[in-house]
Amino acid sequence: MSELIKDSVTAQNSSSAELAERLQAHPNVLARVSSILDIIENQDNNCETASGTELKIISELQKMGNEALQDWGNSQQKKKAQACEKSNSWRRHRKKLLSWPSLFGTIQVIEQTFLGVENGKVFRPFSSSAQIHCRGYSLPLQRAITDFGADVSFGRIPEKLQEHYGITVPISSAQAITQKHAREVNISQKKEEPLIPNIDGVEQIITEMDGTMIPIVKTTPAQDDDEITDRRKTRELSWKEARLSLVRIPKAQEGIIGGTVGTVSEAGKQLLHSAIRAGIGRNTKVHGIGDGASWIVNQIMGLFGENARYLIDFYHLCEYLAAAAPGANVQQRKDWLKQQKQELKKNQVLKVLKNLSKHIEPEHIADKFAPVRVCSRYIKNRLEYLDYKGAMGASHICLAAYKPVSVMCMRRHHPQNVQRRG
């Protein structure tokens, strides 16, 4: 037993000695490890609060990451240069400074370049193997910038990067990187013709599409390089419909949201992309829900065929009924509306239409002054999408739409642009 313990101690000491020797080869990293140990031991009592200590450790880890990446770059550059020197195909050329922004800050490496003996072309072995070019942003940093760019304005991206990673990038670079990846996503979606995978897939998905008008501002740039134009005076405001979609699995906390200002067909493709990401297969049942606009129904039924069922959003329908409710006072209108809701949930749509017909306005009255006629027409045009009894029998099906946050935000800021589809 004592021999086993002795062997274990010996192996541990050998491993510790090897680690110490390796750290000695990287003095910057060793110094940073010592700094972290000082924070842990807190001998000078400067780290009393958890939050303050956490911020100090984050700062040290950020600096350690920069120095580790710097040491890695120098080491790799040396290896690649030595490999080229052993080859007869290359001869040494000048040295160049290679720098690139990363999540740990800017990294700089003095790179040895080579010339091809036969073709005379410049070869940069480290840049080629590391898949980085001078002043080119690392992929992890591009990913962080794009994530922030999808959530906040371009002007706030540097602020977010400084807060979360302790680094700063120009607004112009943040904008260019975000837009570049957005274009690539758009191109990849257009190239790919989405198809439902030939697998069983998840049992059920719930999907919704909606549209709202958003303002588009266009400005005319100066035609002459020497000309200075106040672009505020040349701006033109127009409106364009943004079409958004949502796909989620029943009882799931989060859904997959897509959006486009493109055509109805593009919105449908985006919906199908989201459904594929959610796990749709050939046997997956699709429950569509929404306001019943024809372009939405056509896309959902056309994309998913026999596996799709569509249901008018119960809350949306009740908005029409509430506007059409007769009665001399508020309580009478509430009682009437409650009765219609109960009839709808029993699939007694004809009773609801009969109750509406008693109060329908004459044809010569405009729609905006005829809520009963508008409500009756809305229901008659969508009779096949009012199976609330069947939906309620399936516990995992919802009656009310799960609105994407982006749609709700746009409606809140531009309520005058929301048009009911009667």
Q: Residue 321 has what pLDDT?
A: 95
Give the mean model confidence (pLDDT) for residues 134-162. Answer: 93
**Mean pLDDT of the chain, nearest integer:** 86
Provide the pLDDT confidence category of residue 2 given band limits of 50, 70 and 90: low
* Buried/exposed 154-186: b ≥16 CB within 10 Å, e otherwise: beebbebbeeebebebeeebbbebbeebeeeee
* pLDDT tens, residue by residue, 376-395: 999 999 999 999 998 888 75
Percent share of the chain, pLDDT over 70: 87
Q: Residue 293 has what pLDDT?
A: 92
Residues ≥6 apart with Cβ < 8 Å to 182: 146
Give dist(CA 286, CA 289) in Å, integer. Answer: 10
Give the mean model confidence (pLDDT) for residues 278-296. Answer: 93
Give CA angle at 18 (77, 28), nearest 5°: 50
Q: Residue 176 has what pLDDT?
A: 93
Q: Residue 406 has what pLDDT?
A: 40
Phi–psi pair at 133, nearest 5 degrees: -125, 165
User: Taking 70 as the threshold, does the pLDDT of residue 190 lie above it?
Assistant: no
Q: Residue 419 has what pLDDT?
A: 32
Give the mean model confidence (pLDDT) for residues 400-404. Answer: 53
* pLDDT tens, residue by residue, 207-266: 999 999 998 888 776 666 556 667 677 788 889 999 999 999 988 878 898 888 889 998
Q: Residue 251 has what pLDDT?
A: 82
User: Taking 70 as the threshold, does the pLDDT of residue 6 lie above it?
Assistant: no
Rg (C-alpha) for the chain, rounded Å, is 32
How many helices (H) and strands (E) would you count in the chain? 15, 8
User: Taking 80 as the threshold, does the pLDDT of residue 422 lie above it?
Assistant: no
Please state the length of the chain.
422
Most confident of 28-32, 158-162, 253-257: 158-162
Residues ≥6 apart with Cβ < 8 Å to 121: 115
| Contact of 14 with 8, CB cutoff 8 Å | no
Amino acid at 42: N
| Contact of 297 with 308, CB cutoff 8 Å | no
| Contact of 121 with 115, CB cutoff 8 Å | yes
Q: Which of 85-99, 145-159, 247-261, 336-350 has the lowest mean pLDDT?
A: 247-261
405 vs 100, residue with greater confidence: 100
User: Taking 90 as the threshold, does the pLDDT of residue 298 lie above it?
Assistant: yes
Q: Which of 5-9, 24-28, 212-216 has the lowest mean pLDDT?
A: 5-9
215 vs 398, residue with greater confidence: 215
| Contact of 374 with 382, CB cutoff 8 Å | no
| Contact of 277 with 305, CB cutoff 8 Å | no
Residues ≥6 apart with Cβ < 8 Å to 9: none
